[in-house]
Amino acid sequence: MLKRLSASLLLAAALIAIPVAAASAAKNPWRQSHPWNICHQGGESEVPGNTMYAFKRCLKVGGDMLELDIGVTKDNKVVIHHNTTVDSRTSGTGEVNSFTLAEIQKLDNAYWFSSGADGVSYNHDKPVGSYKFRGIATGARTPPKGYKASDFRVATLTELLKAFPKTPINLEIKGRTTAENLSEYLDNARVLANELKSSKRKDIIVVSFKQEAVDLFHELAPKIVLAPGIGGMSSYLFGHKPLGEGSVAMQVPITYQFGNKLLTITSKALVAKAHANGYAWQNWFGDSDPDAEVSWKKLIDYCVDGIMSSYPAALETTLKKTKSPAACKKRP
């Protein structure tokens, strides 16, 4: 998720004492009495991330919601891919927007995935035998039982929405190229809004690092709810105004290392404050906190509404054996 927080957001997290107007008097359907298991990229540390295989497997291991990233191809098709280039994950090289949909779907989207004791899922320097999903997308290897070769290619958003008609989904708008200029985010926001503006689904959240992309998307597709970008979160945490029209959830890390200071972004008090203001609270993991049981238990105790983990199978085990405090059931 949004792993680069601005200085204003970080400092604001320590200064969140100013009251902020509530988002809505109505109950927020994204609030949960026990955290949702949100599969980050489908669980990219357990299986090849942002593949249909990962998303299908997410639900099988107990996931409640999918988290994924979108990019746009040369022919303006919305595809599911984390990076602005295909280099680190697929059998190809180049920026996502240099491919047509037909071209990008010829790539093996599980080509560089491996898992092992080093905890690095996309290291290109491992022995060939480490890449156990390589070749499934192209038909060189047999897919696992119950899956097909196409589950390991770059998928389209249309395919995903059709495959998961009743599963909540979090969509992050990325840029088009490695430069990641604001204009690229806005271009992608326009394309995504065009695809979703007629959707009747109420279980999709759209977010972006760039607040301007979130705002533009909302202008073009106002029925789809949002989580704010850095600008919206900064403003909220400083107490200047609510998160923004259409925002229903805060998506943040637990802590963030800013220079020589470790700043608290998530605490029991801050989560309670957001809940009182009518917002849900969902956590992702940056570099300062492990995506592991020690963090998951802390977040359960804080009454967060969702945990975006790259280890959904392991998280599900923790969620089943760890009860939320009784206070979490008192939903504003």
- Tens-place pLDDT, residues 277-297: 999 999 999 888 999 999 999
In a domain, residue 127? The reply is no
Domain count, the chain: 1
In a domain, residue 124? The reply is no
Cα separation, 145 vs 122, whole angstroms: 24
- Tens-place pLDDT, residues 146-156: 999 999 999 99
In a domain, residue 320? The reply is yes
- Tens-place pLDDT, residues 8-53: 454 444 444 434 444 544 689 999 999 999 999 999 999 999 999 9
pLDDT at position 241: 66
pLDDT at position 72: 95
DSSP at 238:
T
Q: What mean pLDDT, rounded, does the chain reach?
A: 89
Domain of 301 in residue numbering reads as: 7-85+155-324
**Residues 212/186, Cβ–Cβ less than 8 Å:** yes
In a domain, residue 190? The reply is yes
pLDDT at position 27: 85
Which residues fall within 8 angstroms of residue 85, CB to CB, at 6 or more apart?
Answer: 93, 94, 95, 96, 178
In a domain, residue 214? The reply is yes
Cα separation, 222 vs 244, whole angstroms: 12
Nearest to residue 192, comparing CAs of 171, 177, 209? 171
* CATH code where residue 171 lies: 3.20.20.190
- Tens-place pLDDT, residues 85-110: 999 999 999 999 999 999 999 999 99
**Residues 271/304, Cβ–Cβ less than 8 Å:** yes
Residue 124: CB atoms within 10 Å: 11
In a domain, residue 99? The reply is no
The more confidently predicted of residues 256 and 139 is 139
Cα separation, 171 vs 26, whole angstroms: 24
pTM confidence score: 0.92
Question: One-letter amino acid identity for 14?
Answer: A
In a domain, residue 30? The reply is yes
In a domain, residue 208? The reply is yes
